Amino acid sequence: MSGPFHGKRILLGVSGSIAAYKAVELASRLTQSGALVDTLMTHSATRFVTPLTFRGITHRAALTDLFDPDSPEAIEHVALAQAADLLAVAPATAHLIAKLALGLADDPISVTALATAAPLLVAPAMDAGMWEHPAVQRNAQTLIERGAVIVGPDEGRLASGLMGRGRLAGADELLGRIAQTLGANGDLAGCAVVVSAGGTREPLDPARVLTNRSSGKMGYAVAEAARDRGADVTLVTSAGLPAPAGVRAVRVETAEEMRRAVQEAAASADALVMAAAVADYRPAFPSARKMKKADGGDGLSLALERTEDILAGVPDDVVKVAFAAESDDLLANARAKLRSKGARLVAANDITLTGAGFGADANKMWLVDADGETELPLLPKYDAAAAILDRIAPLIAARRDASRRPVQGSGEPGARRRKPPAGEAAWRR
């Protein structure tokens, strides 16, 4: 097993909100993903969910009482705090957020928050009026200023039956942000990476499109894997999948919309990974009204025109990765694409294999670069994405070093300096 949580030591703080039951799913998914999860509960949290529930799921006793002389976990809580890779408090009540902001220490979560040097992620859950209260907002702001990551709360139906902002962020969002926080100092920290995903859709008339079988899963996996190594990720997507947490998603439909969005994002990026299946042709004369059978008679021929090559149109000083999904002559085609697109790497896969490629959760790829080709085993798409990033991370580092070096003769810093990434603020709610 691999992935962002494998072997990580996560402290899960659960405080007394009705959303405490949702922490059970979080504990379960983290444990299933290979994390070692220790649950810290306030006394009021134990009134919503029992410590036994967390013990059953994480196979580790939940810490509920620091003064219990019979609890080995209570005695070792400082060691737990020191070994932790991350402390996630989900749900965090207004009261607990206030304690964290003030540095009070009278329950397993607040004590551990002071004892640990690990990053802190806080997922508030409370009534909307409480969340909006200036005292709570001030406390949350204090935590942000100290480097904590606040996730949510989401808008929606609250336990009171009213609508508003106060719901605990969803499990996918929390897991994504935990993975991102764990990898914040990874080898792509501070790098801007653009990823494209999905099959483009070219309108034929208001009801019909020309498209392909790409699900977008491979591009999403690349976006997540880059995020989990610290990159600032822009995902230009024509797939209908929900955007990964912590990634800036730009929704597009046609090849031309994708071209414009990729061009714009790539102008300040270090790398571009073109996982999208872009239409090479689009209907030359899309109809403004729905076509009728009578328009075509017994047969219909469509006039198509070429779309522009998006990857080839991005300057070669960006580290570019092409994908090549082929049914014949895989490696010869991949080598040709390496040259014609100005790419540094081609991820090639044979679409005739079953269990890999379109729509599947695994991929069997060859990585082709100027030095030759490497065959990868059948891998989950996240791991296949990580293999691609392993190859381009040194190229990105070299590019960034070069742009920092003075231009010869002028003494000025390099011409192509990157704009600072939009940063966390754009992702925070």
CB of 322 to ligand CTP, least distance (A): 4
- Rule CB under 6 A: is residue 271 a binding residue for ligand CTP? no
Tell me if residue 363 is catalytic.
Answer: no
CA distance 75 to 63: 10
Q: Walk across the sheet containing 36-41 and list its strands.
A: 36-41, 9-14, 86-92, 120-124, 149-150
* Cβ nearer to ligand CTP, comparing 167 with 282: 282
- Rule CB under 6 A: is residue 58 a binding residue for ligand CTP? no
**Which residues 6+ apart lie within 8 Å of 108 measured at CB?**
13, 40, 41, 42, 63, 64, 65, 66, 77
CB of 321 to ligand CTP, least distance (A): 7
Of 380, 351, 382, 354, the residue nearest 226 (C-alpha): 382
* Cβ nearer to ligand CTP, comparing 31 with 363: 363
Mask for 191-230, x = binds ligand CTP (CB under 6 A): ----------------------------------------
CA distance 346 to 279: 18
Active site residue: 212, 333, 349, 363, which one?
A: 212
What are the CA-CA distances from residue 196 to residues 207, 256, 306, 321 (Å)? Answer: 25, 13, 20, 11
* Cβ nearer to ligand CTP, comparing 181 with 349: 349
* Cβ nearer to ligand CTP, comparing 178 with 274: 274
Torsional class of 314: left (φ above 0), alpha (ψ -120 to 50), beta (otherwise): beta
How many CA atoms does the CB half-sphere of 328 hold within 13 Å? 0
Among 192, 235, 274, 330, binds ligand CTP (CB under 6 A): 274
- Rule CB under 6 A: is residue 255 a binding residue for ligand CTP? yes
Rule CB under 6 A: which of 333-362 touch ligand CTP? 337, 341
* Cβ nearer to ligand CTP, comparing 77 with 259: 259
CB of 125 to ligand CTP, least distance (A): 41
CA distance 200 to 383: 25
CA distance 167 to 371: 52
CA distance 89 to 22: 12
Give residue 159's Cα distance to chain centre: 29
- Rule CB under 6 A: is residue 276 a binding residue for ligand CTP? yes
* Cβ nearer to ligand CTP, comparing 48 with 323: 323
Among 278, 338, 385, 388, binds ligand CTP (CB under 6 A): 278
- Rule CB under 6 A: is residue 92 a binding residue for ligand CTP? no
- Rule CB under 6 A: is residue 363 a binding residue for ligand CTP? no
Q: Which amino acid is at 148?
A: A
* Cβ nearer to ligand CTP, comparing 97 with 276: 276
Which pair of tokens denotes residue 107? 């329950």
Piece of the chain touching ligand CTP by CB under 6 A; list 54-62, 75-83, 273-281, 290-298? 273-281
CA distance 105 to 113: 8
Piece of the chain touching ligand CTP by CB under 6 A; list 184-192, 231-239, 270-278, 291-299? 270-278
Taking the CA atoms of 372, 375, 376 and 382 in sequence, report the sign of the dihedral they define.
Answer: positive
Rule CB under 6 A: which of 288-327 touch ligand CTP? 307, 309-311, 322-325
Q: Which residues does the annotation mark as catalytic?
A: 212
Q: Which residues bind ligand CTP (CB under 6 A)?
A: 255, 274, 276, 278, 280, 307, 309-311, 322-325, 337, 341
